[in-house]
Amino acid sequence: MDVVLIHVLNSLLYASVLFLIAGGLSLIYGVMRIVNLAHGNLYAFGAFVTAWAVGIVAAGASVPVWLALLPAGALAAAILGAILEPTLLRPFYKRAEEYQLLCTFGLLMILEDVLRFIWGPYPLSASALFESFGSLSVGESIYPTYNFLVIGVGAAAAIFLWAFIYRTKFGVVLRATSQNMRMASALGVNVNRVYVEAFTLGCFMAGLGGAIIVPSQSAVLGMGVDALVLAFIVVVIGGLGSLEGALVGALIVGIVREVGITWFAEIELAVLYLIAALVLLVRPAGLFGRP
């Protein structure tokens, strides 16, 4: 029974981080109709910034200081997003999707090397924070306490985002823009501003995903590209542009990954991609997407 519980916790852990990444990707697509191939790099950027802040800048500090520095990665990713959207992406909205994909692919290559340039080719770790939390006993097994924090942040982000989008004025504007950009614009919505805000929020989520997972792993080059492909699976299963879909997709992928790593490690990734392909075959717009 304890083993099952540990598996469930691990699935939730994966799902939390995946939701943050894929939710941001989906939000950006939902509002701006752009698939940001560099989204994974913003997640990696968040991870690197937090690992740098916690592991190097405040290496000797205490746990509260580290916790206070944890969101640094998310904020840095948000700032980066707020700079990138108006400068690089805005010229592409009126052009064919091919160009948008290519531009963000170029951005992916650039950001990958910017990380290498700033922090060098070696992994960056913030494991002191992870270790300072110790572990809890779950029945007869033990489980790292820090992972509960990650799951908690993931759940809180989902609730916060839901409230933000369905219960605030900004959410109404966001949904209106997402449904019909021209009409929203005609009604006096400043579409450019909404786009910057949505993109920044999406990047913030990706950065937060990187920031909260980095103490239990480390920040390595290439983590963004790997994460992006998993996030793609999540949004394809859940439906591109749907936050509910991102949540359900993240849970499905989290569970399949956890089960896969335990029982069919060789074909774990293949199974995930096949699930995504099957979902697309049956429901082209994903489980929650609008066609």
Partner 1 sequence: MSVAPPGPRPAVSSARALRMAAPIAVALALVPLVLPPYSSILLAYGLVMAIGALGFNLLLGYTGLLSFGHSAYFGVGAYAVALMVKYLKVTSMELFLVGAIVASIMITALFGVVCVRYTTIFFGILTLALSQVLWSLAFKFFWVTGGTDGLRVPTPSLFGGLVTGAGDKITFMSHAYYYYVLIMFCLCVALMWVIVNSPFGMALQAIRDNETRARFVGVRIWPYRWVAFLVSGVFTGLAGALWVPLNGLTTPDIMHWTFSGEIVFMTVLGGFRSFAGPIVGAVVFNYLKTYAVGYTVYWQLLLGVVLVALVLSLPTGIVGTAGRLLARFQGRS
Question: Interface residues with partner 1 (CB under 8 A)?
Answer: 35, 37, 88, 91-92, 95-99, 101-103, 105-114, 116-117, 225, 229, 232-233, 236, 240, 265-270, 273-274, 276-277, 280-281, 284
Nearer to partner 1, 82 or 114 (CB): 114
Query: What tokens were used for 81?
Result: 């997003």
Q: Helices 145-167 and 243-263: crossing angle, nearest 10°? A: 160
Backbone dihedral angles phi then psi of residue 58, each to the nearest 5 degrees? -110, 40
Rounded-to-integer distance, Cα 186 and Cα 193, Å: 14
Task: Provide, rounded to whole angstroms, the least separation between the CB of residue 234 and partner 1.
Answer: 11
**Nearest-5° Cα angle at 229, 39 to 203:** 15
Rounded-to-integer distance, Cα 263 and Cα 172, Å: 44
Task: Provide, rounded to whole angstroms, the least separation between the CB of residue 29 and partner 1.
Answer: 8
Nearer to partner 1, 31 or 212 (CB): 31
Task: Provide, rounded to whole angstroms, the least separation between the CB of residue 25 and partner 1.
Answer: 11
Query: What tokens were used for 231?
Result: 């996030």
Task: Provide, rounded to whole angstroms, the least separation between the CB of residue 277 and partner 1.
Answer: 6
Nearer to partner 1, 122 or 166 (CB): 122
Residue 278: CB atoms within 10 Å: 11
Nearer to partner 1, 106 or 139 (CB): 106
Task: Provide, rounded to whole angstroms, the least separation between the CB of residue 232 and partner 1.
Answer: 6
Nearer to partner 1, 2 or 113 (CB): 113
Task: Provide, rounded to whole angstroms, the least separation between the CB of residue 104 and partner 1.
Answer: 9
Nearer to partner 1, 4 or 96 (CB): 96
Nearby residues of 47 by Cβ (< 8 Å), 6 or more positions away? 73, 210, 211, 213, 214, 219, 223
Nearer to partner 1, 101 or 259 (CB): 101
Q: Which of 23, 290, 10 is nearest to 156 (CA)?
A: 23
Query: What tokens were used for 260?
Result: 């896969």
Nearer to partner 1, 57 or 229 (CB): 229
Number of H helices, E strands in the chain: 13, 4
Task: Provide, rounded to whole angstroms, the least separation between the CB of residue 283 and partner 1.
Answer: 12
198 contacts 241 by C-beta, under 8 angstroms: no
Rounded-to-integer distance, Cα 59 and Cα 110, Å: 29
Task: Provide, rounded to whole angstroms, the least separation between the CB of residue 139 and partner 1.
Answer: 32
Q: CA 214: distance to chain centroid?
A: 13
250 contacts 11 by C-beta, under 8 angstroms: no
Scan for tokens 């029945």, then name that residue.
Answer: 139
